[in-house]
Amino acid sequence: MQIKPILSALRRHKAGTFLIAMQIALTLAIVCNALFIIQQRLAHLSEPTGVDEQNILVIQNEWVGSSTPAQADARIREDLRVLRELPGVADATASNSYPLRGSGWDDGVKLKADQLQDSSGATIYFGDERFLGTLGLKLAAGRNFRAEEITGMDVRDRLAPPVVMVTRALADKLFPGSDAVGQTIYLAGSPTTIVGVVDLLQAQSVDRWASAFAYRSVIVPRRLGISLGGFYIVRAMPGQLQDVMRAAPKALFANNPRRVINDEDGVLSFKEVRARAYERDRGMAILMGVICLVLLAITAAGIVGLTSFWVGQRRKQIGVRRALGATRQDILHYFMTENLLISVGGVLAGMLLAVAINLWLVTRFEMQRLSLLYLLGGVVILLLLGQGAVLAPAMRASRVPPVEAPRSV
Amino acid sequence: MFGYYLDLAIRSLRRNRVLTALMVVAIAAGIGASMTTLTVMHLLSGDPVPTRSNTLFYPQVDPDTSLTEHGEPADVMDYHSAVDLWRSHRADRETLVATAGAKLRAIDVRQPSLMIRVLATTADFFPMFDVPFQYGGGWQAADDESRARVAVISAQLNDKLFGGANSVGRSVRVRGSEVRIVGVLRPWRPSPQFYEVAGGRFSSGNTAGYYARPEDVMLPFFTGVEVAGDTFDVFNCWRVPDNFMHLPESPCSWVAMWVQLGSPAKVSGYARFLAGYAVQQKRLGRFTHADNTRLRGLMQWLDYNRVVPSDVRLQAWLAFAFLAVCLFNTIGLLLAKFLRRSGEIGVRRALGASRRAVFAQCLVEAGLIGLLGGMGGWLLTLLGLWLVRRQPAAYADLVHLDPLMFLTTFALAIAASLLAGLLPAFRASRVAPGLQLKTL
């Protein structure tokens, strides 16, 4: 196939050629960046929490009326007993928060008492000796809390636990290359000893502001005995989650009615917790996907429209070529190659534009650098799209009969 | 002449329906996407107190005594500084703002306890921010200091508890303390909920929460401190409190302040007063960073906090890029369409039509496509906004198409299509009469 005659023909259609190339360039730039955003959001929302998500539910409990810290602590222990005795419940624990909850108590961890800047941020989880077992967390080193280490705590108390457990992500950050078990850290100003390292436990927020300390969590041996209430985390036996979700609030109310468990979101399965935490990311990914599809469809339609016009305009020339011996194949190839030339021009401009847009997004929207793979993927998609779109008009052109030429000259 | 062009345009559009439909759909899709995001942007970036936003200011001091590096002062103040400044009464009007969650129970109404948000504020809040009342009104200035057990409730809470009836004089129990209702608000939904905006620079663009509904119960500030106690939302603590959570004496920032200043002279006067206060506090040993005070205007403060969520901004940019692709598409198709009729145009030119007449005729056709695309775009915008309303974002219930945005939809569609028609119309008007006649 000779390229020169195609180029000289295109020179006579500068405006149309330029428009298709520009449309391809813009589409490529947007599609690349949109695909990249989709991938980032999807990667974010499929990060593991380390929790046995299938079988876990979370109950938010608030007490009615005030009580002393000791009374509140007794009530929590009573509730835990009720929950653990329910049929279908594997285990239950009380905490101030849970992974993916969105907000809660985050604090700085220091290695020395007089340090100015924190060594790391961390999510603070309250947990008893059954916290690990209930959430299905794996202990990587050291030991779990002992029952006698767990004490009740009021908001007015200072958090000064003698021992804590940390996640491996935090241990690696604080003590890279050495064993964290037995080390001393400073939490909320007081020293405490690490007794155990948990394999994997996500922080309570997965928003971007908390990404600096993702997976860095501290578990303190405390029960938050405040009148405001807290969370019960319950693990159901496999397959019995729905039954437990229905039975648990009933059992709690039967035991002590002076409480509020919200109808709407007082009892959540961990699946719902995950869906809520990543709602925004999923919405954005879907939106980007829809925009990409519509954009590709519109660009394809534009190529079909303009090429059809060109085919109609050149019927005579095509007829002459056919009469002079060009085969149908030749005509088909002519239009396909023409489109390929325009598309290549378009994607070259589009690659530059895509990188430019990405750099701008990096500065304005805290995005990451576009990976080359997405650029190449976008190029392939658009070249295929162009060839696919031009196929129908090109086939029509190849069917122009040779007799058309002499008739109208 | 216009009527004739319109007639020609309609004939031309009907001649090639597929191509026409393609152009109309492209314009409609582009307009639908950009108007949906533009409407959301418009609603989220508006002025929440249009009558007097230029007289509202947000003072900041830096009570943080830690040795770490200080950039901007804390977004809200500690109790001590806020109450000091408020008691000085140096502004035309001034108000304190702090929020807490609390349980509420209506007395004599058989309903379970509700978890609600409480706003502790001062009497000036209502006149200062133009808060509309349905029944009763705000409390008196003296009620703040005397810790009067009174409250103003939202229209929504009034509907829920009292079926929308005049509940002034009735009582509710907030965290166990009885307060008497003195006023019921009309539905009030400032966008954003400006008086609570703070911390935008730490939110990484996730600022949808700034568009939440105002609190259901508003209490006189010192009453609120007594009733809500240690449950107030704390912005930040610069060291670990000795008495954990006893807020008024804690090294924590949790009270915001707003002042109304009627003239530029008053503004600079207040800024001097604020700087003087900080210097005095440093002398007393309470501050370490005396020169770190700010007095930003309301809109400036919203700007500083970048209140419009980054996802919304990103979507708006994306939508306009989308519109650009749709425009390129339409230019190409219009070019094809007009030049295909070169013969016809040649005849008209030979019969005496001026270039200008051909140009005008082509633009009328492009404008007509824009009008049709605008209608499609309007429907798609309504669909888009409906989808936004179903999102879990805090601003979802705010989203609607106001008359301004309705008109903008059509203006944008027609402007876009005319823009797209310029080049093709110009090319069509350059068709030489003789050459085309020869080929007929």
Give yes or no: residues B337 and B281 share one domain: no
Quote the Cα angle for A26-A28-A29, to 5°. 65
Spatial separation of the C-alpha atoms in residues B137 and B125, rounded to whole Å: 11
Quote the Cα angle for A232-A233-A239, to 5°. 130
The nearest CA of chain B is from the CA of A356 a distance in Å of 14
Q: Residues of B with CB below 8 A from A156's CB? A: 230, 243-246
Give yes or no: residues B197 and B339 share one domain: no
Give yes or no: residues B268 and B330 share one domain: no
Question: Cβ of A305 and B332 within 8 Å?
Answer: yes
Nearby residues of A313 by Cβ (< 8 Å), 6 or more positions away:
B339, B340
Most A-contacting residue of B201, B240, B430 (CB-CB within 10 A), to test interface: B240
Residue A178's CB is within 10 A of a number of other CB atoms, namely 10
Give yes or no: residues B199 and B101 share one domain: yes
Domain that holds residue B326: 2-45+309-439
**Which among B112, B329, B427 has CB closest to A15?**
B427
Q: What is the reported pLDDT for A59? A: 93
In this model, does residue A409 exceed pLDDT 50? no
Question: Cβ of A15 and B423 within 8 Å?
Answer: yes
Q: What is the reported pLDDT for A228? A: 63
* A20 interfacial to chain B (CB closer than 8 Å): yes
What confidence tens digit (pLDDT) does each residue in A152-204 have? 876 666 677 889 999 999 999 999 988 889 999 998 778 899 999 999 999 88
| CA B365, B369, B371, B372 torsion-angle sign | positive
* A209 interfacial to chain B (CB closer than 8 Å): yes
Q: B384 with B32: CB under 8 angstroms?
A: yes
Give yes or no: residues B224 and B367 share one domain: no
* B440 interfacial to chain A (CB closer than 8 Å): no
In this model, does residue A15 exceed pLDDT 90? no
Residues pairing with A47 in the sheet: none
Query: Per the structure, how many domains does chain B have?
Result: 2
Q: B393 with B210: CB under 8 angstroms?
A: no
Quote the Cα angle for B126-B128-B130, to 5°. 65
Question: Cβ of A306 and B243 within 8 Å?
Answer: no
Q: B424 with B331: CB under 8 angstroms?
A: yes
pLDDT category, A218, cuts 50, 70, 90? very high
Tokens 């950039």 belong to which residue?
B71
Give yes or no: residues B222 and B324 share one domain: no
Residues pairing with B181 in the sheet: B151
* B328 interfacial to chain A (CB closer than 8 Å): yes
Give yes or no: residues B138 and B287 share one domain: yes
| Full DSSP string of A336-347 | HHHHHHHHHHHH
Q: What is the reported pLDDT for B137? A: 92
Nearby residues of A255 by Cβ (< 8 Å), 6 or more positions away:
A78, A79, A82
| Token pair for A376 | 């190449």
Give yes or no: residues B274 and B154 share one domain: yes
Which residues, numbered 180 to 199 in chain B, qualify as contacts with chain A under a Cβ-Cβ cut-off of 8 Å?
none
Q: B132 with B188: CB under 8 angstroms?
A: yes
A-B contacts at Cβ under 8 angstroms: 131
Instruction: Give first-to-last CA distance, chain A, whole Å.
Output: 26
Q: Is A212 exposed, middle or buried (0-12, 13-18, 19+ CB in 10 A)?
A: exposed
Phi-psi region of B175 (alpha: psi -120 to 50; beta: other; left: phi over 0): left
Q: What is the reported pLDDT for A26? A: 92
The nearest CA of chain B is from the CA of A138 a distance in Å of 32
Q: What is the reported pLDDT for B11? A: 85
- Using the 8-state DSSP alphabet, how is residue A237 labeled? P
List own/partner pairs for B396-404 with CB under 8 A and 24 or more apart: B397/B189, B398/B43, B398/B44, B398/B189, B398/B191, B398/B211, B399/B39, B399/B40, B399/B43, B400/B43, B401/B39, B402/B39, B402/B42, B404/B42
Question: Cβ of A299 and B325 within 8 Å?
Answer: yes
Among residues A274, A281, A284, A282, the alpha carbon closest in space to that of A102 is found at A274
Last residue of a domain, one of B247, B276, B304: B304
Q: Tell me which of B417 and A310 has the higher pLDDT.
A: B417
Last residue of a domain, one of B304, B335, B355: B304
Give yes or no: residues B254 and B157 share one domain: yes
Residue A272's CB is within 10 A of a number of other CB atoms, namely 14
| Token pair for B414 | 């027609």
| Token pair for B236 | 């930040």
Q: What CA dihedral angle connects B45, B50, B52 and B57, to 10 degrees?
A: -10
**Which among A16, A66, A209 has CB closest to B204?**
A209
- Using the 8-state DSSP alphabet, how is residue B203 labeled? T
* A285 interfacial to chain B (CB closer than 8 Å): no
Q: Is B233 exposed, middle or buried (0-12, 13-18, 19+ CB in 10 A)?
A: middle
In this model, does residue A5 exceed pLDDT 60? yes
Last residue of a domain, one of B240, B273, B304: B304
Give yes or no: residues B258 and B405 share one domain: no
The nearest CA of chain B is from the CA of A305 a distance in Å of 6
Residues pairing with B171 in the sheet: B180
Give yes or no: residues B10 and B97 share one domain: no
Spatial separation of the C-alpha atoms in residues B109 and B229, rounded to whole Å: 25
| Token pair for A321 | 């070529």
* B149 interfacial to chain A (CB closer than 8 Å): no
Spatial separation of the C-alpha atoms in residues B404 and B39, rounded to whole Å: 10
ipTM reported for the complex, 2 dp: 0.78
**In this structure, which amino acid lies at residue B247?**
L
Residues pairing with B135 in the sheet: B184
| Full DSSP string of B405-418 | HHHHHHHHHHHHHH
pLDDT category, A44, cuts 50, 70, 90? confident
Element (H, E) at B135: strand B133-136
Q: What is the reported pLDDT for A165? A: 94
**Which among B67, B103, B329 has CB closest to A260?**
B103
Q: What CA dihedral angle connects B134, B140, B141 and B144, to 10 degrees?
A: -90
- Using the 8-state DSSP alphabet, how is residue B255 labeled? B
Question: Cβ of A291 and B331 within 8 Å?
Answer: no
Give yes or no: residues B194 and B65 share one domain: yes
- Beta-strand pair A259-260/B252-253: unpaired
**For A66-95, what is the mean pLDDT?**
87
What confidence tens digit (pLDDT) does each residue in A370-388 have? 888 889 999 999 999 999 9
- Beta-strand pair A139-142/A151-153: unpaired
Tens of pLDDT, residue by residue, chain B (440 residues): 788 888 888 888 888 888 888 889 999 999 999 999 999 999 998 899 988 889 999 999 998 887 667 788 989 999 999 999 999 999 999 999 999 988 888 887 777 778 889 999 999 999 999 999 999 999 999 999 999 999 999 999 999 999 999 999 999 999 888 999 999 999 999 989 999 999 888 887 788 888 989 999 999 999 999 888 778 888 888 877 666 567 888 888 999 999 999 999 999 999 999 999 999 999 998 888 888 899 999 999 999 998 998 888 888 988 888 899 898 889 988 888 888 888 888 888 888 888 898 899 899 999 999 999 999 999 999 999 998 898 878 888 888 898 999 999 999 999 999 999 998 899 888 887 766 555 55
